[in-house]
């Protein structure tokens, strides 16, 4: 079902910009005129692929829907007419363009008002328990004033020109500068993108390599996504809203009279017969086609519908396609068979990380396996289950089916009999973590994802079918006759076999050691899953490919671990995938112990016979739900206006949520968890410790880069942010308004990421200010915090340790870091790190701004400081003892009221380095330069990027000042 959009932006520019592809760097196709109407073809990351319906502009292309909180296109309520299931009139399709603009009728207004009045009421008689409210995790103190210097700082930062490749130091020597960070380059460097004569630090080159690898991975992912999309279209994989069967035609044939929307079953206890009636109660609603087919399966096979995916060639699981197996086989192609297959496949795609999670904070099995890596290979399965099933009786004898569903997981072990369930599956196992999260959020997921919602509707229909058979209700033979007609009129399934489901994520780790790039390991994890189970709603087989310890990271076209076909249960027909087995529930009678529900059905001429509740509800939702209480209105909007929600595209087939308190409180609790998570995310995002590329567990896993730099054995996860270099600036309302209205609209964010709930987090660099903002879905951008970016300050405190003054020094390293001070370019500060030969004691010494020199022994935060600095020079100490170094440090320390310049502080580092190593800085700047060839992508395999560790053929030494090669050029092979 395609949506219609109207262009509302770009009036002052002749329309909005249209590009050929979804990426912003693709070719411009022209402008789409304001007022034009387009039809949605595809949606991807806030970009819309359209077909022109009316107006002027390119007939097709990609456009941005919203920019900086301003809508460029808005949804029209009109939707395309869609095909319906067998026996359904075309009037039951989506809202036509003409009808979508109509206002609610009086009957529809009355129906919606009645529904909203009972929303959140305790109508079931149960004890709902305590409803947890939202409590803020942290409340920041409002800033009152903004210092004038904060505004001036917007233009205070000098603009460093990357073309300036050298500068003259205090001794008149030309020093090459890194073209990336503008700090001096030491004895080892790499040629910059400007070509010969330019250079960058090894640390900066590692960042370039990581960025290249990320771009290569993005291209690979894009090509894979295109290939999967093509495969999904070819094999008709993916839930289609038009496949939802309608009730009107079937209700008329079954004697239920006029049923424009929802339909229920009413019991006559005296005759033990049931009849169909219209209803406005979502809990009592039953899809008639689901019910008839489930009843046919129950009466002919004494079970629920069953579906599984099996390998065509069990002896060649890696390359074998999978065949769809239905029990009974006549379910192939029916609406029941389709919803089982699509729901089962969606669960596996979600587990593999193919989509954004439908609930904020959820993670895929892939994400959990990356957070908790293990050397142990494992296999497992996940499947849908029914945790509770019952049929209740309303005051007017309406039968009300009820189900509670979830997902279960079990690790598997290899035995002599094959793969069998493990006795215990760890609570921290990736499969178990994903299954628990899905179960906890099941009701919210069902309200947002149409395929899961209709799987639950099928479960309700199966519960009703089992009740009717077990209670020996007298059924009209017409029911089974119509069910036979549905099966006979169903066309043969177009694709009985589908490709295997797989996913892969690349990863790269660049190793730095002693100021040099040692190696770059590139690889990935590829998960190729043969999805054998399906719906018995059956039991699923699921396996996650894990990388063994010691196995190279290079990506491979072969799966590392493949699942084996196995059975659970005695029957050979028992599949693995979705288990909605109802045999454990006694459904032969209704639950009469609980309080009777209010009347649910409507008679001839009643409001139930005149209104399609789903249509009226969606119309009211578009109007803002004015009749609903504020807290309930916020709940409904949070559910259905989420970017992950697709149920609003169901049109007249839409079923509103059960308004009973027991159900709405569960939804309130789950949505409240999302709100609390958003508050925590803002708190962490506004903290100085937030690090781009390593955001942490509170944020989506995609925010943590799989392309990391490992420096001197320091794991990427332990990298630190520049906390000490950020000073918080108080922001008042006027300054925030100036930023939002005048400054930020003209600036491009350095960081921009979106969460599952559509919230956008941005970081801007405006001169020396760092501005962090957040924007909720359908909300306005808000300034959260402003930092003044300065050079970090370090308080290196010595640890208590005994050192011998006669112990000799082994090595001296000179580091450079950004500093505060005058100068047209980035000011810099030098410090030295010594290590003794015997006890490996570490000494740090430097000259401070006041003229004093420091002496720190084994300081605790030295690794953090080194990770943010650049290593310039390394030298072996010549018989220098700790006592001699201490005397040199003490003799150079003197307090000066006016302070000392950065040049004087640099002279101290040069003097100490020469005294202890016998070496001089002179002539060593940029002494050894290597060339980096860039990341290679194999054109022969679009799904994998196969790389080998970087190997330098030989060293390349350049005299950067004279531009002459003194050694052969280096070559990079991958």
Beta-bridge partner residues of 205: none
The pLDDT value recorded for residue 582 is 67
Residues 72-95: what's their mean pLDDT? 47
pLDDT tens column, 724-751 = 668 888 888 888 898 898 888 888 898 9
Q: How confident is the model at residue 540 (pLDDT cuts 50, 70, 90)?
A: very low
Do the Cβ atoms of 19 and 61 come closer than 8 Å? yes
The pLDDT value recorded for residue 416 is 67
pLDDT tens column, 332-358 = 999 999 998 999 889 888 888 888 899
H helices of 502-612, in order, are none
Work out the angle between the directed axes of helices 661-685 and 630-640 (0-180°, nearest 10): 70
The pLDDT value recorded for residue 315 is 63
Residues 912-916: what's their mean pLDDT? 92
> Is the pLDDT confidence value at 567 over 80?
no
pLDDT tens column, 414-428 = 666 655 666 656 788
The phi, psi pair for 676, rounded to 5°, reads -65, -40
Gyration radius (Cα) of the chain, Å? 34
Q: Which residues contact 534 (CB under 8 A, 6 or more apart)?
A: 306, 307, 308, 309, 324, 325, 340, 341, 344, 540, 575, 577, 578
CA distance 790 to 918: 34
Delimit the CATH 2.30.30.40 region(s) of the chain: 3-80
Report helix, strand or coil for 191. strand
Residues 174-191: what's their mean pLDDT? 84
pLDDT tens column, 14-24 = 888 888 887 77
Q: Any idea what DSSP says for residue 243?
A: G
Report the length, in residues, of the chain. Answer: 974
What H or E segment, with its residue span, contains residue 638? helix 630-640
The phi, psi pair for 725, rounded to 5°, reads -90, 0
CA distance 221 to 229: 12
Q: SS3 for 152-171, per residue?
A: HCCCCCCCCCCCCCEEECCC
760-766 vs 751-754, strand pairing mode: antiparallel
Tokens coding 100:
């979508």
Q: What share of the chain is helix, strand, coil (3-state, %, to 5)?
A: 30, 25, 45
pLDDT tens column, 611-632 = 899 999 999 998 888 888 999 9
What H or E segment, with its residue span, contains residue 351? helix 335-351
Which of 960, 952, 969 is closest to 926 using CA atoms?
960
CATH superfamily of 3-80: SH3 Domains (2.30.30.40)
CA angle centred on 291, ends 288 and 293, rounded to 5°: 110
Tokens coding 290:
């689901």
Which of 124, 115, 283, 117 is closest to 662 using CA atoms?
124
Do the Cβ atoms of 131 and 668 come closer than 8 Å? yes
Compute, in degrees rounded to 10, the torsion defined by CA atoms 42, 46, 52, 53: 90
Q: SS3 for 909-947, per residue?
A: HHHHHHHHHCCCCCCCCCCEEECCCCCCCCCCCCCCCCC
Least confident of 366-375, 598-607, 664-673, 682-691: 366-375
Q: Which residues contact 778 (CB under 8 A, 6 or more apart)?
A: 641, 758
Which of 792, 735, 733, 786 is closest to 763 using CA atoms?
786
């Amino acid at each position: 079902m395609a949506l219609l959009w109207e262009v509302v932006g770009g009036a002052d520019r002749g329309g909005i910009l249209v590009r050929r592809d979804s990426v912003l760097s693709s070719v411009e196709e022209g402008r789409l005129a304001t007022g034009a109407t387009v039809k949605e073809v595809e949606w991807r990351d806030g970009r819309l692929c359209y077909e022109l319906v009316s107006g002027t502009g390119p007939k097709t292309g990609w456009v941005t829907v919203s920019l900086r909180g301003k809508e460029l296109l808005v949804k029209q309520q009109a939707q395309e007419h869609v095909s319906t299931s067998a026996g359904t009139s075309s009037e039951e399709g989506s809202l036509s363009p003409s009808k979508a603009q109509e206002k609610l009728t009086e009957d529809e207004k009355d129906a919606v008002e009645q529904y909203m009045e009972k929303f959140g009421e305790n109508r079931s008689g149960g004890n709902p328990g305590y409803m947890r409210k939202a409590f803020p995790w942290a409340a920041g103190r409002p800033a009152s004033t903004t210092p004038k210097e904060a505004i001036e700082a917007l233009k205070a930062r000098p603009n460093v020109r990357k073309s300036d490749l050298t500068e003259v130091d205090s001794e008149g020597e030309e020093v090459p500068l890194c073209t990336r960070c503008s700090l001096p380059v030491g004895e080892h460097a790499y040629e910059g993108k400007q070509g010969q004569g330019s250079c960058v630090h090894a640390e900066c080159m590692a960042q370039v390599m990581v960025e290249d690898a990320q771009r290569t991975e993005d291209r690979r992912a894009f090509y894979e996504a295109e290939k999967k999309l093509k495969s999904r279209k070819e094999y008709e994989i993916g839930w289609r809203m038009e496949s939802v069967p309608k009730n009107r035609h079937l209700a008329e044939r079954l004697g239920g009279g006029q049923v424009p929307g929802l339909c229920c079953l009413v019991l006559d206890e005296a005759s033990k017969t049931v009849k169909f009636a219209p209803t406005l109660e979502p809990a009592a609603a039953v899809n008639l086609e689901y019910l008839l087919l489930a009843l046919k399966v129950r009466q002919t096979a004494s079970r629920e519908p069953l579906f599984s995916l099996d390998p065509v060639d069990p002896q060649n699981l890696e390359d074998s396609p999978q065949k769809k197996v239905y029990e009974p086989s006549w379910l192939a192609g029916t609406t029941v068979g389709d919803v089982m297959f699509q729901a089962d496949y969606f669960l596996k795609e979600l587990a593999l990380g193919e989509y954004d999670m439908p609930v904020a904070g959820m993670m895929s099995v892939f994400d959990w396996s990356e957070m908790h890596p293990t050397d142990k290979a494992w296999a497992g399965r996940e499947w849908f289950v029914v945790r509770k099933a019952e049929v209740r009786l309303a005051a007017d004898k309406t039968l009300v089916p009820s189900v509670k569903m979830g997902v279960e997981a079990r690790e598997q072990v290899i035995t002599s009999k094959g793969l069998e369930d493990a006795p215990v599956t760890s609570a921290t196992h990736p499969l178990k973590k994903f299954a628990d999260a899905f179960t906890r959020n099941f009701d919210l997921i069902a309200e947002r994802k149409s395929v899961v919602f209709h799987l639950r509707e099928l479960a309700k229909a199966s519960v009703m079918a089992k009740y009717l058979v077990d209670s020996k209700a007298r059924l009209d033979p017409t029911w089974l006759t119509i069910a036979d007609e549905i099966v006979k009129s169903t066309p043969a399934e177009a694709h009985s076999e589908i490709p295997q489901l797989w996913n892969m994520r690349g990863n790269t780790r660049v190793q730095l050691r002693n100021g040099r790039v040692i190696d770059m390991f590139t690889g990935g994890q590829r998960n190729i899953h043969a999805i054998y189970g399906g719906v018995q709603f059956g039991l699923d087989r699921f396996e996650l490919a894990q990388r063994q310890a010691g196995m190279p990271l290079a990506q491979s076209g072969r799966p590392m671990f493949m699942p084996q076909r196995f059975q659970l249960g005695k029957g050979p027909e028992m599949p693995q995938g979705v288990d909605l087995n109802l045999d454990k529930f006694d459904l032969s009678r209704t639950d009469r112990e609980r309080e009777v529900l209010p009347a649910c059905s409507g008679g001839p001429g009643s409001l139930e016979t005149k209104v399609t509740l789903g249509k009226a509800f969606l119309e009211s939702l578009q109007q803002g739900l004015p009749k609903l209480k504020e807290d309930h209105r916020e709940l409904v909007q949070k559910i259905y206006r989420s970017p992950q929600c697709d149920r609003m595209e169901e049109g007249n087939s839409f079923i509103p949520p059960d308004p009973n308190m027991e159900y709405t409180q569960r939804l309130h609790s789950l949505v409240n968890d999302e709100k609390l998570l958003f508050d925590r995310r803002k708190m962490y995002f506004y903290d100085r410790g937030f690090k781009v590329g390593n955001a942490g567990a509170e944020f989506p896993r995609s925010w943590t880069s799989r392309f990391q730099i490992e420096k001197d054995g320091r794991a990427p996860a332990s990298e630190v942010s520049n906390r000490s270099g950020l000073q918080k600036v108080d922001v008042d309302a006027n300054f925030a308004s100036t930023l939002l209205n005048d400054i930020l609209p003209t600036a491009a964010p350095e960081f921009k990421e979106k969460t599952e709930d559509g919230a956008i987090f941005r970081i801007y660099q405006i001169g020396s200010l760092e501005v962090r903002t957040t924007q909720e879905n359908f909300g306005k951008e808000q300034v959260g915090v402003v930092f003044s970016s300065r050079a970090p300050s370090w308080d290196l405190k010595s640890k208590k340790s005994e050192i011998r003054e006669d112990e000799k020094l082994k090595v001296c390293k000179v580091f450079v870091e950004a500093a505060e001070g005058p100068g047209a370019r980035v000011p810099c500060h030098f410090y030295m790190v010594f290590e003794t030969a015997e006890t490996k004691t570490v000494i740090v010494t430097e000259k401070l701004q006041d003229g004093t020199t420091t002496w720190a022994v084994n300081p605790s935060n030295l690794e953090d400081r080194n990770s943010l600095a650049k290593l310039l020079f390394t030298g072996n100490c010549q018989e220098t003892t700790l006592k001699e170094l201490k005397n040199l440090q003490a003799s150079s320390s003197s307090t000066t009221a006016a302070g000392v310049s950065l040049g004087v502080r640099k002279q101290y580092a040069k003097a100490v380095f020469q005294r202890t190593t016998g070496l001089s800085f002179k002539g060593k700047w940029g002494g050894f330069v290597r060339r980096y060839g860039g990341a290679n992508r194999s054109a022969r395999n679009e799904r994998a990027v196969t790389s080998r560790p970087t190997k330098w053929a030989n060293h390349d030494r350049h005299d950067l000042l004279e531009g002459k090669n003194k050694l052969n050029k280096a070559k990079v092979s991958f």
